[in-house]
Amino acid sequence: DERPDWLACVYDDRAVQVSPHLVDVHAAHEAGQMDCVMAHVNATPAKLHVSIIDSVLTLAELAQHLRRFIMVRRDGGKNATLRFADCAVLPQLAIAFMPAQWAALVSPMARWHVHGYDGKLVALPGADAAVLCSPTPLVLTEQQLAALHEAMIPNMVLGCLRAMRHGAALPGIAADQHRWAGEACRLWRNARNVHDIVLRWLTSAALDTNGAVFQQEMVGRLLVMSDLQEIRAGLHAAVEGYRAKLSPMGARQ
């Protein structure tokens, strides 16, 4: 194994390409590898791929602990993968998990900080010392899984839009993107619209107008319509109207 002693993979070698990695920062510093570590940390502006753990466990022990949570079980017995290395997911796990389940995950950690969408560090709640830890693998109810899915819809919509735009950067910073996607999801749900494509269109319009589309009264009327082409045309017109106001020609008219 040529892996340096300051680096550990949570998944086994067959899945190393998609594995969360653990870095012993002190050992990496002693090895003169902090430039390499910081290049990874700064790979994206929001740093949602990086969390910071303080623990008495060794690197190997921490990796072994986290391996217990790679898979969780659904009520029906099927397995699901737990994305405990994603800073967008971890705060939602703290909400959706039962106290005993959360304690099982975080009890060895003195502190666990995640990056928010604005790039700032946020502390996750610690384990309740009075609560016994759940055995692993954790068993999640359908209600818990549904809550996690609902919380991640804004991120999934943004991912779809990135793919539709062939990987081009979306307008705005990560914090704004997530806020606009969340507001689009809220309005879409309130309108009882059943078409996922409408949520993507609304989120795209929000991105292209820096959220200004939400200030237009017609959005509420569009979302309750049944004619998809009319909805799409209305949102397209809103985006074009916003762009016209920003253009020099639009300003002179």
Name the CA radius of gyration of the chain, rounded.
22
pTM of the model: 0.88
Helices (H), 141-217: 142-164, 174-190, 196-208
pLDDT score for 249 = 60
DSSP letter at 23 equals E
The answer to whether the CB of 131 falls within 8 A of the CB of 103 is yes
Residues 6 or more apart in contact with residue 6 via CB below 8 angstroms = 23, 24, 25, 27, 28, 30, 31, 33, 59
Instruction: Give the per-residue pLDDT at 77.
Output: 81
Tokens coding 197: 């494509």
User: What is the structure's pLDDT at 13?
Assistant: 82
Alpha carbons 86 and 202: distance in angstroms, whole number: 26
Strand ranges (E), 30-125 = 51-55, 71-74, 79-81, 109-115, 121-123
For residue 42, what are the contacts with CB-CB under 8 A and spacing of at least 6?
none
The backbone torsions φ and ψ at residue 53, rounded to the nearest 5 degrees and listed phi first, read -115, 130
Q: Compute the distance between CA of residue 234 and CA of residue 219 in angstroms, rounded to an integer.
A: 8
Q: pLDDT tens, position by position, for the chain (253 residues)?
A: 588 999 999 998 888 888 999 999 999 999 999 999 999 999 988 899 999 999 999 999 999 999 999 999 998 789 999 999 999 999 999 999 999 999 999 999 999 999 999 999 999 999 999 999 999 999 999 999 999 999 999 999 999 999 999 989 999 999 999 999 999 999 999 999 999 999 999 999 999 999 999 999 999 999 999 999 999 999 999 999 999 998 776 544 4
Strand, coil or helix: 196: helix
pLDDT for residue 44: 86
